[in-house]
Amino acid sequence: MWKDVLIGLGAAVVVAWLALVVALLLARPKGNVLREALRILPDLIRLLKDLATDRAQPRGVRIRLGLLMVYLAVPFDLIPDFIPVLGYADDAIIVVAVLRGVVRRVGLEPLRATWRGTEDGFNALCKAAGLTPRPS
């Protein structure tokens, strides 16, 4: 009996993990967005910290950003790094997916006001978030 329960539990974990991999593949941005996101990483980290600590932002945005920072600080990944392509890209994909939701909720103008990086970096951020930046 216990053997059947353990086999069922193991199968459920494998199915859930495969569903996560498929979801990450579907959420993966197209083109060079991940490369651009890595290029602006220092400014992006500052932006995430600033938004997460800004009391003017909605609580849901601050919670999402806090959970994202906790996820990034945890020493293990959802997809191990030895798996080609997705192993190293899972963190970047999750960051971009959370960033898309946060940027759409916060809006372009507050985001531009908080951004400390270059204009090219802001344009790359908008591209990663699926937004069209307006000229400043």
How far apart CA 11 and CA 26 sit, in angstroms, is: 23
User: What is the pLDDT of the chain when averaged over all its residues?
Assistant: 76
Mean pLDDT of 98-125: 83
pLDDT of residue 80: 74
pLDDT of residue 76: 75
* Of 109 and 26, more confident: 109
Whole-angstrom CA distances from 101 to 39, 72, 118 are 20, 17, 22
pLDDT tens digits along 46-91: 888 888 888 888 899 899 988 888 887 777 777 776 776 666 667 7
Would you call 4 exposed, middle or buried from its count of C-beta atoms within 10 A (0-12, 13-18, 19+)? exposed
pLDDT of residue 118: 85
The Cα angle at residue 111 between residues 59 and 65, in degrees rounded to 5: 40
How far apart CA 96 and CA 68 sit, in angstroms, is: 11
**Report field, pTM of the whole predicted structure over 0.85:** no
How far apart CA 21 and CA 24 sit, in angstroms, is: 5
Least confident interval from 9-23, 66-80, 87-101, 113-127: 9-23
pLDDT of residue 38: 62
* Of 24 and 51, more confident: 51
Say which residue the tokens 């932006």 belong to: 47
Mean pLDDT of 94-107: 81
